Structures are given as structure tokens and as C-alpha cells.
Structure 1
Amino acid sequence: MRVVAKFGGTSLGSGDRINRAADSVANAVREGHEIAVVASAMGNTTDELLEDITFEADEADRAEIVSMGERTSVRMLKAALAARGIDALFLEPGHPQWPVITDERGEVDVEETTRRAKALAAELDHVVPVITGFLAETHDGTVTTLGRGGSDTTAVMLGRYMDADEVVIVTDVEGVMTGDPHVVEGARNVGQISVDELRNLSFRGAEVVAPSALSYKDDELDVRVVHYQHGDLLSGGTQITGEFKHLVDLREEPLACLTVAGRAIRNQAGVFHRLSQSLAESGINVDAVASGMDSVTFYVDVDEAERAENILHREVIDDEMLSSVTVEDDIAVVRVTGGELPNQPGIIAEIVAPMAEAGINIHDLITSATSVAIFVAWGDREQTLEILQQLY
């Protein structure tokens, strides 16, 4: 089996942990597996180096400085593997076999990186390459970086381009947990999670796998997260399944928009719960929800609009803080899903501008971690779909 193993900073944070990492790689090699290693900077080295740059420095100098953490890690890990009789080679920007190449804008040159990654993969039966994570270089040899979480990106990218069977992310957590074990009792490991689920968690604060890394995962590549303490690359942890694709999807049936108005609804504990529960208890599915300071809007199937209006009206009557409920029928929703859409600067303007030029009024726009939902009049649905398909 061909495996790309990425060791995070905590898993290389001391001599003992480096020994544990080297043991796990050596054991896998002795079992006949082809292993490539991606190493982060030891501990918090990168953050500490960044904090020490208290002077004016251009991007090239900053990249060279912060690269020292990863450059140290690969030397330490290579030496530890050599001490175990494993033929290893450390790779950093500037090495003739260095694989990760970017263009002048800092974007990964997929064609050249793929060519170099495949050349490196062809030698895995002879040597274990220990590769600096986070770093890249341009065609002219300038050191660049892949941004926050870049070591994860390096690992999954190389896993894909080296035709690996699996990428193993070695970190300081037991894979993906049901909750933060430092905060909630009884948190347990999730044996399997989809790319979609994990990306949503990652964008909302879960520090498991960098979202930028998951964009390189496809259906053919397995990705697994394991704890460094177990010292086993080939079992345990959480398996990440699936492939995240850009998708522009038009809901086939129209929606109705029901808006409940009230005084400072957002500051009233339990109001949203009571309204949602009343719809759920009557078997009415809510497609989406939007809220403001003085209103909550529910989107439901247009066939359920009258029943939903009566249910919500009863809640309005029973709560003096609520004033009224209104209904608007024949709303269409087009969803754009994929990538890091809501986290890309200018993404909303990119969507809104062509729709404004086409004279389409946006009824509502709701973002999540990995999608944007655009609500328009039913009669504008086909033109909206066409515009978004051209964009994505």
C-alpha cells in the first residue's frame, strides 16, 4: 500500500515524539508499504517565528524565515529513520526533487507538481522521502507558503498526485470527536465522517484537517486522522469519505416564505425553538431559515404554506412579543455548494453583480460554511440557474 503520512507539530513536539513517529514509519516500511512523509514544524515553531518578525519584511523573506521550522523537522525525522536502518531523504524547497511548485501568483502549478510528484512516487520502493509541509517554491526558486494548515494541504495534494492509497494525518486528537473532550463529557471518536460534514466543522472552528486540504481529496483517495500516541499509521482514527464538488442545484418545487415579526426576537430565548417545534410537530419540513433582529423567516414547501401559516399564527396569538405572520408564495432557491465559497473575499459580490445586471431581485441570500443559497421569484429561477452555472 502507498501511504502519505503527515505529522503535525504536536506529533513532532519533542524527541520522544519524533522517535514515536519514526517507529511508526519504520514499522510500516518493514511491512512492505511505500511511505512518503510530510512534516510540520515542531511544536509551535511557525507561530513563534512569525511573532518574532517585528520588523518590516517582504513576503519572500517572511517565507524563508518561517520555513526554518519545517526544515528542522525533516532533518530530525530523516535522522531518526536512518538510525532505524531506513533509507530516507529529506526534501525542502531548492532540492532537485522538490515536488510542490507554484506560479507567480502563488497558485499551485498542478501540471508541474503532478509531474514531480509522480517522479517521486516512482522511487518509493527504494527510499522514504521526508518532505517539508506548508512550503512551496516558484519556477524561479523563490520560497512560498501554502497558508494556514498548509502541511495538511501538502499531504493530501501529494497523496492525490502520487496516486497514494491513503493519506494519514497524525495529530494530537483521536480523529474526529463527537465534541471537544476538554469541554464536554463522554466525547467519543467518530469512526467515519464525510468531506462535506468535516468541511462544515472545519470552517466553524474544528481543528482537525485544514479545509484547503480537503479540496484535493477525491473518491479514489482515502484520508484518515489518527492520534500520534498510538504509533500506528495503518489503523484506527477517523476515516474521511467522499469528494467535495462544486454543484449548482435548483430546487424543483417552489417554496413559500413565512415571516414571523416581533420585538427583538433575536434577544428572546426560546422563541425560535417554539416556532420551529410547532412546525416540526405538525410534520412540516423547513427547507431554510433566515433571521433578523425583529423577524424569523421559514421557507417551506408551497403546498404546506396555508397549514404552516395557521400553525405560526397560533404561536403569534399566544406570545405577546410576536406581532404577525406573513406569507409569500412561489419562491425559488438555487444553491451553490463546494470549495470554500463563503470564505472567499468578494464571493457575494460575484454572485449578486450579474444578477443585478439581469434585473433579478434577490429575495434572500443565506450562507453556510460550504454553500450559498439564493432565493428569487419562481419566474426568475431559470435565468438565475443559468447565471450561476456560468459562474461555477
Structure 2
Amino acid sequence: MRVVAKFGGTSLGSGDRIERAADSIAKAVEQGHEIAVVASAMGDTTDDLLSEITFNADESDQAEIVSMGERTSVRMLKAALASRGVNAMFIEPGHELWPVITDERGEVIVEETKKWASKLADKMDNVVPVITGFLAQTKDGNMTTLGRGGSDTTAVMLGKYMNADEVVIVTDVEGVMTGDPTVVEGARNVGEITVDELRNLSFRGAEVVAPSALAYKDDRMDVRVTHYQHGDLLTGGTRIEGEFRSLVDMREDPLACLTIAGRAIRNTPGILQRVSTALGDHDINVDAVASGMDSITFYIDESLAAEAEDVLHSTIVDLDQLSSVTVDKDVAVIRITGGELPNRPGILQDVIAPIADARINIHDLITSATSIAIFIDWDDREETLEIVQSQF
């Protein structure tokens, strides 16, 4: 099996941890697996170096300075592997086999990176390449970086382009947890999670795998997150499933839009729960929810509108904080999902502007890290769909 293993700063934060990392790599090599290693800077080295740049340095000089963290890590890890009888070589920008090629802005040049990653992969039958994460270079040899979380990006990208069977992210958590174990009592490891689920969590504060890295995940290649104390690269942790697919989809049946108004909504805990529970108790599925300062809007199947209005009205009568419910029918929804959304600046403008130019009114716009839902009049759905599809 061919594996790309990325060791984060915490997992290389001391001599003992480097020893532990080398042990796990040597064990996998002894079992007959082809291993490539991506190494982050030890501990907080990168942040420490950045904090010491108190002068006005250009981007190229900054990249050279912060690269010293990763350059040190690969040398330490290569030496630790050599002491265990493992044939290893460290690879950094400037090396004849350096694989990650970008333009001057740090955008990956895919064809060049694929070509050099393939050449590097051909060497893995008799050597363990130990590669600096986060760093890159232009075709002219100038130093660039892949941005925050760049070591994760290096690992998953190289895993894809080197035809690895699996990428293992070795970090300081035992995979994805049900909650922050430092805050939530009884948090446990999640054995499997989809790439869409994790991408949403990552953009909302979960520091497990950098969102930029997940864009390179495909169905063919497994990605797994495991704790550096586990000691075995090939087992344990959380497996990330699936891949991002850009998709524009239009719901086949019309929706009804039910809006509850109440001046005290924003200051009354449990209001959303009360009205949502009332709908759930009557087996009324909610397609989407939007909330404002003084209103809550539910989108449900239009065939259930009358029943839902009656249920919500009964709830309103029981709650002094709510004043009224209204119903608007013949609403269509078009959803856009895809891994490129968070990395495409101006994406909302790209979607909304042509719809506005066509004089189509948008009822609502609901977004998440990897999706956009556009609500419009039912009669405008086909034209809106054509406009949105033209952008993707």
C-alpha cells in the first residue's frame, strides 16, 4: 500500500515525538508499505518566526524565513529514520525532485505538480521521501507558500497526484471528536465522517484538517486523521469519506414559505425549538429555515402548507412572544453545492448579479460553508436555473 503521512507541528514538537513518528514510519516500511512523509515545522516554530519579522519584508523573504521550521523538521525526521535503518531523503524547495509548483501568487500549477509528484512517486519503492509541508516554489525556483494549513494541503494534494492509497494526517487529536474534549464531557471519536460534513466543521472552527486540503480528496483515496500517540500509521482515528462534487440542483416540487413574526423572538430562548418541535410532532418536514431579528421562516412542501399553518397558529396563540403567521406559496429552490465555493472570492456576487440583471426577485438566500440555496418564485425557476448553471 502507498501512504502519504503528514506529521503536524505538535506531533513533531520534541525529540521524543520525532522518535515516536520515526518508529511508526519504520514499522510501516518494515511491513512492506511505500511511505512518503510530509512534515510541518516543529511545534510553534512558524508562528514564532513570523512574530519576529518586525520589519517590512517582502513575501519572498518572508517565505524563506518561515521555511526554516519545515527545513529543520525534515532533517530531524530523516536522521531519525536513518538511525533505524530506513533509507530516507529529505526534499525541500530547490531539490531536483521538488514536486509542488505554484505561480508567484502561490496558486498551484496542477500539470507541473502532477508531473513532478509522479516522478517522486517512482522513487518510493526503495526510499522514504521526507517532504517539507506548506512550502512551494515557482517554475523559476522562487519560494512560495500554500498558506495556513498548507502542510495538510501538501499531503492530500501529493497523495492524489502520487496515486497514494491513503493519506494519514497525524495530529494531536484522535480523529474527529463528537465535541471539544476540553469543553464537553464524554466526547468520543467519530469513526467515519463525510468530506462535506468535515468541510463545514472546518470552516466553523474545527481544527482537524485544513479546508483547503479537503478540496483534493477524491473517492479513490482514503484520508484518515489519527493521534500521534497511537503509534500505528495504518489503523485507528477517523476515516474521511467521499469527495466534493460541484452540483446545481433544483427541487422538483414547489415549496411554501411560512413566516412567524414576533418582536421578542431574538430575546426569548427556546422559541425556535418550540415551533420546530410543533411541526415535527405532526410529521411535517422542514426543507430549510431562515431567521431574522423579529421573524422565523420555514420552507416546507407546499402540499403541507395548510396543515403547517394550523400547527404554527396554535403555537402562536400559546406564546405571547409571537404575533402572527403568514403563508406564501409557489416558491422554488435551487441549491449549489461544491468544494470550490469557500475558495472562490465573490461567489455570492457571481450568482446574485446575473439573477438581478434578469429582473428576478430572490425571496431568500441561505448559505453554509459549502452550499448556497436560492429561493425564487416558482415561475422564475427555469430561467434562474439556466443562469446559475452558466456560472458553474
**TM-score, normalising length from structure 1?**
0.98
Instruction: Give the Å deviation of 1:115.
Output: 0.7
Q: Name the amino acid aligned to 2:45.
A: T
Is the contact between residue 278 and residue 311 of structure 1 (CA under 8 Å) also seen in structure 2?
Answer: yes
Quote the residue 2:317 is aligned against: 317
Quote the residue 2:164 is aligned against: 164
For the residues of structure 2 that align with 1:104 and 1:378, how far apart are their CA atoms? 46
Q: Name the amino acid aligned to 2:311.
A: I
Matches within 5 A, 1:59-208: 59-208=59-208
Q: Secondary structure at the match of 2:323?
A: strand
Instruction: Give the Å deviation of 1:389.
Output: 1.1
Q: Name the amino acid aligned to 1:36.
A: A
Is the contact between residue 264 and residue 294 of structure 1 (CA under 8 Å) also seen in structure 2?
Answer: yes
For the residues of structure 2 that align with 1:330 and 1:134, how far apart are their CA atoms? 50
Runs of at least 4 residues of structure 1 off by over 4 A? none
Q: Name the amino acid aligned to 2:332.
A: A
Quote the residue 1:386 is aligned against: 386
For the residues of structure 2 that align with 1:342 and 1:199, how far apart are their CA atoms? 10
1:255 aligns with 2:255: yes
For the residues of structure 1 that align with 2:12 and 2:291, how far apart are their CA atoms? 45
Quote the residue 1:43 is aligned against: 43
For the residues of structure 2 that align with 1:261 and 1:342, how far apart are their CA atoms? 32
Worse-superposed segment, 222-231 or 316-325: 316-325
Worse-superposed segment, 306-315 or 100-109: 100-109
Please give the per-residue CA displacement for 1:228-287, whole angstroms capped at 9, x wherever unaligned: 112110111111111111111111111000000000312211111111010000000000
Is the contact between residue 10 and residue 42 of structure 2 (CA under 8 Å) also seen in structure 1?
Answer: yes
For the residues of structure 1 that align with 2:309 and 2:343, how far apart are their CA atoms? 35
Is the contact between residue 342 and residue 368 of structure 1 (CA under 8 Å) also seen in structure 2?
Answer: no
Quote the residue 1:265 is aligned against: 265
For the residues of structure 2 that align with 1:74 and 1:189, how far apart are their CA atoms? 30
For the residues of structure 2 that align with 1:68 and 1:202, how far apart are their CA atoms? 27
Q: Secondary structure at the match of 2:25?
A: helix
For the residues of structure 1 that align with 2:105 and 2:68, how far apart are their CA atoms? 23
Quote the residue 1:349 is aligned against: 349
Instruction: Give the Å deviation of 1:36.
Output: 0.3
State the aligned residue count. 392
Instruction: Give the Å deviation of 1:342.
Output: 4.7
For the residues of structure 2 that align with 1:168 and 1:372, how far apart are their CA atoms? 31
Quote the residue 1:336 is aligned against: 336
Instruction: Give the Å deviation of 1:93.
Output: 0.7
For the residues of structure 2 that align with 1:320 and 1:287, how far apart are their CA atoms? 27
Is the contact between residue 193 and residue 240 of structure 1 (CA under 8 Å) also seen in structure 2?
Answer: yes
Quote the residue 1:287 is aligned against: 287
Please give the per-residue CA displacement for 1:149-198, whole angstroms capped at 9, x wherever unaligned: 11000000000000000001101101111111111111111111111111
CA separation of 1:312 and 1:387: change in aligned 2, threshold 3 A: same
Q: Name the amino acid aligned to 1:276.
A: S
Instruction: Give the Å deviation of 1:105.
Output: 3.5
Quote the residue 2:3 is aligned against: 3
For the residues of structure 1 that align with 2:88 and 2:342, how far apart are their CA atoms? 41
Please give the per-residue CA displacement for 1:177-230, whole angstroms capped at 9, x wherever unaligned: 111111111111111111111111111111111111110010000111111112
For the residues of structure 1 that align with 2:390 and 2:88, how far apart are their CA atoms? 47
Quote the residue 2:54 is aligned against: 54
Instruction: Give the Å deviation of 1:295.
Output: 0.4
Instruction: Give the Å deviation of 1:124.
Output: 0.3
1:375 aligns with 2:375: yes
Quote the residue 1:222 is aligned against: 222
For the residues of structure 1 that align with 2:228 and 2:145, how far apart are their CA atoms? 25
Percent sequence identity over matched residues?
Answer: 74
Matches within 5 A, 1:22-33: 22-33=22-33
For the residues of structure 2 that align with 1:303 and 1:372, how far apart are their CA atoms? 24
For the residues of structure 1 that align with 2:343 and 2:324, how far apart are their CA atoms? 35
Instruction: Give the Å deviation of 1:372.
Output: 0.7
For the residues of structure 2 that align with 1:385 and 1:58, how far apart are their CA atoms? 45
Is the contact between residue 104 and residue 144 of structure 2 (CA under 8 Å) also seen in structure 1?
Answer: no
Please give the per-residue CA displacement for 1:301-338, whole angstroms capped at 9, x wherever unaligned: 00011111111111121222211111100111111111
CA RMSD of aligned residues (A): 1.0
Instruction: Give the Å deviation of 1:104.
Output: 3.3
Quote the residue 2:364 is aligned against: 364
Is the contact between residue 264 and residue 322 of structure 2 (CA under 8 Å) also seen in structure 1?
Answer: no
**TM-score, normalising length from structure 2?**
0.98
Q: Name the amino acid aligned to 1:136.
A: A
For the residues of structure 1 that align with 2:78 and 2:342, how far apart are their CA atoms? 40
Q: Secondary structure at the match of 1:236?
A: coil
Q: Name the amino acid aligned to 1:158.
A: L
Instruction: Give the Å deviation of 1:116.
Output: 0.5
Instruction: Give the Å deviation of 1:344.
Output: 4.2
For the residues of structure 1 that align with 2:273 and 2:106, how far apart are their CA atoms? 46
